[in-house]
């Protein structure tokens, strides 16, 4: 059974940085497509960024492009999201997700079949 655990969230001020981590266990050998999503209070879960397991190509939502960077440490089976120049509108619960059957980076939650429990990111103005 796939188990994903996010960490690194917290309360920061606008303009600060945070790095989220997502450690996976129970995954058979890859490659996988992985992504970060977020959900603000009262809103749906939205795509933030993703990385394709074979090509390592990355995709970002327009709202975070140029500020966030997704990366992966294969040796430690960990996915990262470096978030710089944070804004109050980035406040949300952030989730990592895995598309264990690979494929392209999708912005649709239904294309990912394993999810972490989420980590809260709060950005004050």
Task: Give percent helix, percent strand, percent coil of the chain, each to the nearest 5.
Answer: 5, 50, 45
What's residue 97's pLDDT? Answer: 97
Rounded Cα–Cα distance for residues 53 and 75 (Å) = 14
Which is it for strands 78-83 and 92-99: parallel, antiparallel or unpaired? unpaired
Rounded Cα–Cα distance for residues 95 and 125 (Å) = 23
- Measure CA of the first residue to CA of the last residue in the chain; give whole Å: 40
What's residue 27's pLDDT? Answer: 80
What's residue 44's pLDDT? Answer: 97
CB 67 within 8 A of CB 85: yes
- Of residues 121 and 55, which shows the higher confidence score? 121
Count CB-CB contacts under 10 A for residue 30: 16
- Find the mean pLDDT for residues 105-113: 94
| Nearest residue to 51 via CA among 91, 89, 15, 99 | 99
Q: Please list, in sequence order, all residues whose beta carbon lies within 8 angstroms of the beta carbon of residue 11, skipping any fewer than 6 positions away.
A: 122, 123, 124
pLDDT digits (tens, 9 = 90+) for 49-92: 999 988 899 999 999 999 999 999 888 889 999 999 999 999 99
């Amino acid at each position: 059974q796939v188990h994903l655990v996010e960490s690194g969230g917290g309360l920061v001020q606008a303009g600060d940085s945070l790095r989220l981590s997502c450690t996976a266990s129970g995954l058979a050998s890859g490659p996988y497509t992985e992504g970060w999503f977020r959900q603000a209070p009262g809103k749906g879960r939205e795509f933030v960024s993703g990385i394709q397991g074979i090509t390592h190509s990355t995709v970002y939502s327009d709202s975070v492009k140029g500020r966030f960077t997704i990366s992966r440490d294969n040796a430690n089976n960990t996915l990262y999201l470096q978030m710089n120049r944070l804004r109050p509108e980035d406040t949300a619960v952030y989730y990592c997700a895995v598309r264990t059957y690979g494929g392209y980076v999708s912005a649709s939650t239904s294309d990912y079949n394993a999810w972490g429990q989420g980590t809260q990111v709060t950005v004050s103005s």
